[in-house]
Amino acid sequence: MASTQGVPPAFNNTVIKWIDKRLPIFTFMHHEYGVFPTPRNFNYWWSFGGIAMVMLITMIATGIVLAMNYTPHVDHAFNSVERIMRDVPQGWLIRYMHMNGASFFFIAVFIHIFRGMYYGSYKNPRELLWILGVVILLLMMATAFMGYVLPWGQMSFWGATVITNLFSAIPVIGNDIVTFLWGGFSVDNPTLNRFFSLHYLLPFVIVGVVVLHIAAMHVAGSNNPIGIDPKGPQDTLPFSPYYVTKDGFAVVIFITIYAAFVFFSPDFFGEADNYIPANPLQTPAHIVPEWYFLPFYAILRSIPDKLGGVIAMFGSIGVLFLLPWLDTAKVRSARFRPTFKWFFWLFLIVCLILGWVGGNAADAELKVGGMHIPLLWIGRLATAYYFFHFLILLPILGKIERPLPLPASIADSVLKPAVAR
């Protein structure tokens, strides 16, 4: 078929030609994923959007199979999961793919988000593209939380109890919201039923928002490592076959690592207590959420007031919606912002520290020489910096930082790699 953008492709297959004349889906795919002009300087960090899409498809496919064999009832949920593992043909594989797929889905999305922050992909004209990405993150977190409840182990039950109880901190209507979420006066069968229903539904909502996310990206165009817009055909390459091949290679490497965990260490990201049936009369010694919630859990615990902790936790995600306006710098890429680059890496380290603090008990201490430093205080310092980075540092830094000179075009940066390295 032809490869010139804007010119209808000449399909040789008679069936495809007949369908496309009446419903031009193949022409659409050709224009949007074939000859779509893409910056020629993409690196492998740009492959994680495609990797996240592959993981989303994997999660939906394995989830549908698991739902066929799962029983959403408090008396049977735990045993139905054990039956999937022991009696359903290849059920152990499907469940391990789903369990570990959630973690690797979040890994891909977190890398995708931090890449966008480093290269300024949230800046004009891509604000809505970024906002839709944050909406996807929120939907993923809600879906993952409700999915974690479904095995009905000890961590599932008590995790659901602790997290849903957070809404009771809302003045006046908090207790009513909790009762509504539970479907009663405690986490019980109605809770499990509605969580199962929503866990099955939300991935398809995520697919819808992903479609909008991709559409917004095709309208605004992709950002690139140097953060300047293409100025002509010399700055772009058609998406296929160049980036189809490059992203395909990245997907193969990522899936290989994912498969290694599925087959050789399937419980690496899990908690042993979740292999114990849920018992409302016995609280686990240490209730801990999944690793991808740990930074937000640390922020929640760092505030001594319950309502304040809830506000801080949700605010840590809500502030991402405002990032396109909080960062006042005109230059997008951190390659040309030497001061911002160091603060970005500091911010990444702070997020890792929050995750580490959230994974430890609230009264845990760090022993340094003869000193015992409470992790709670480390979490509070990290939380303070988290909000300082967005609300104070970025607005001020964008006005006072002196960026490096930008290359004249994307082609110049590719042909002269010494520039801005």
CA distance 197 to 201: 6
Q: Cβ(268)–Cβ(261) under 8 Å? A: yes
Q: Is residue 290 annotated as part of the catalytic site, yes or no?
A: yes
Q: Which of 121, 290, 302, 389 is catalytic?
A: 290
The tokens 């310092």 sit on which residue? Answer: 381
Strand 236-238 to strand 371-374: parallel, antiparallel, or no bridges (unpaired)? unpaired
Q: Is residue 247 annotated as part of the catalytic site, yes or no?
A: yes
| Three-state secondary-structure class, residue 38 | strand
Q: Which of 80, 121, 156, 247 is catalytic?
A: 247
Q: Which of 17, 21, 76, 218 is catalytic?
A: 218
| Cα 127 to the center of its chain, rounded Å | 18
Q: Is residue 222 annotated as part of the catalytic site, yes or no?
A: yes
Q: Which of 246, 341, 401, 412 is catalytic?
A: 246
Angstrom distances, CA of residue 372 to CA of 285, 363, 378: 22, 11, 12
Classify residue 4 as exposed, middle or buried by CB count within 10 Å of its CB (0-12, 13-18, 19+): exposed
Nearest to 337 by CA among 409, 395, 406, 417: 406
CA distance 345 to 259: 29
CA distance 217 to 204: 20
| Three-state secondary-structure class, residue 19 | helix
Longest dimension (CA), the chain: 79
Query: Would you mind telling me the total number of residues written for the chain in this entry?
Result: 421
The DSSP secondary-structure symbol of 128 reads: H
Per-position b or e across 57-82, b if 16+ CB within 10 A of its CB: ebbbebbebbeeebbbebeebbebbe
Q: Is residue 121 annotated as part of the catalytic site, yes or no?
A: no
The DSSP secondary-structure symbol of 370 reads: T
Nearest to 142 by CA among 93, 208, 201: 201
End-to-end CA distance of the chain: 39
Catalytically active residues, by annotation: 218, 222, 246-247, 290
